[in-house]
Amino acid sequence: MWKLPPRRNERKPPHVPAGVRIYAIGDVHGRADLLASLLLQIEVDIALHPVSRPIAVFLGDYIDRGPDSKEVLELLITPGRTPEMVFLKGNHETFMLNFLKTPALLDNWRQYGGLETLVSYGLKPPISPSFNDRARLARDLASATPESHRKFFEALKLSFVCGDFLFVHAGLRPLIPIQQQTEDDLLWIRDDFLLWDKAFEKIVVHGHTPVLEPDVRFNRINIDTGAFATGRLTCMTIEAAEIMPLIDVRDWLDKLPDVETSQGDTIGLEEPVSSSDTVRHAGGSNAVAGYPARRSDSAAAIHAKRLKEDVNAYDAPTRLRLDPRRSTNAFSHPRR
């Protein structure tokens, strides 16, 4: 847990308003598996640590590089999520939108993982596409893209402010007021922002530039931990003046307790289950009466549902095991 020092001429450290908790989520890049687990983590965290106004702020780059860009968008637009959702625009979202208008930009997009996005929509881009191939792919992608996805892209925000924190995809141009920042800088800037060693108007929470672990500084916080390559999708909580990451999704899933299922427990499973079935933590292949769990978050989905209904349905030791804030030291294991 971190608490940033007070800024010059201010007594209190940077904070968000009372009753608000921010869940800031880094670049997803097509990792629907990590996103699904993280959304469940957030639901469990809210159930175990209630707050008046939870807000999930996504820092952009939902698509490209990873294998499941289409499914990422489906997860994000699913109605009924517990926290309020704020979706920011990343530079990768501009690639898809520009390609639909100008198919000749495919060569540029493919350098940034665009082919993986095309494949996630069921398309088969050729290795060396001709001019006509590019035009055909753009038409096919337009046809394969649901209207709900288009509206999602159109509604993306460039920035979000809460209390003393500014959330943006890439960063800010130093010495330029927030209101005068260009979209290009907000989505693309690197060195001029990253190397700036003085304060900004707000503490900037950003992604865009991958780091091995969250980089918390006095003037900015980088939470892009390269999910598509590392398997680490970071969620940073900000409440009052306290800043704390939820534990690594893989640690959380790996240590979930087994759960006895009932007829009503169908979340994340291929088939309804009987009262005698047991879902193993992380969704083992023998999870449900001969039917493998659809994803490794099957048990997590059931726990999240039950906790939302009645947090006291679990004893204290089990709640500790389910808690996304628990210390990782006692549960850590070597990485391969």
pLDDT of 263: 53
Q: Rounded to whole angstroms, how far apart are CA atoms 37 and 138?
A: 32
| Residue 154 φ then ψ, to 5° | -65, -25
pLDDT at 261: 62
Sign of CA dihedral 320, 322, 328, 329: positive
Could you say which residues of the chain have pLDDT below 50? 266-295, 328-336
DSSP state of 336: -
Q: Which of 8, 179, 188 is nearest to 91 (CA)?
A: 188
pLDDT, tens only, 181-225: 999 999 999 999 999 999 999 999 999 999 999 999 999 999 999
334, two tokens? 């070597």
Q: What is the rounded distance in angstroms from the CA atom of residue 188 to the CA atom of residue 180?
A: 16
Question: Among residues 251, 284, 291, 297, which one has the least CA distance to residue 33?
Answer: 297
Report yes or no on whether pTM surpasses 0.85. Answer: yes
- Could you tell me the two tokens for 13? 């450290």
129 φ/ψ angles, rounded to the nearest 5 degrees: -70, 140
- The reported pLDDT for the residue numbered 32 is 96
> Residue 121 to residues 71, 72, 89, 145, 184: CA-CA distances in angstroms?
9, 11, 20, 7, 27
* Angle formed at CA 149 by CA 154 and CA 297, multiple of 5 degrees: 125
Which pair of tokens denotes residue 43? 């639901």
What is the model's pLDDT at position 295?
46
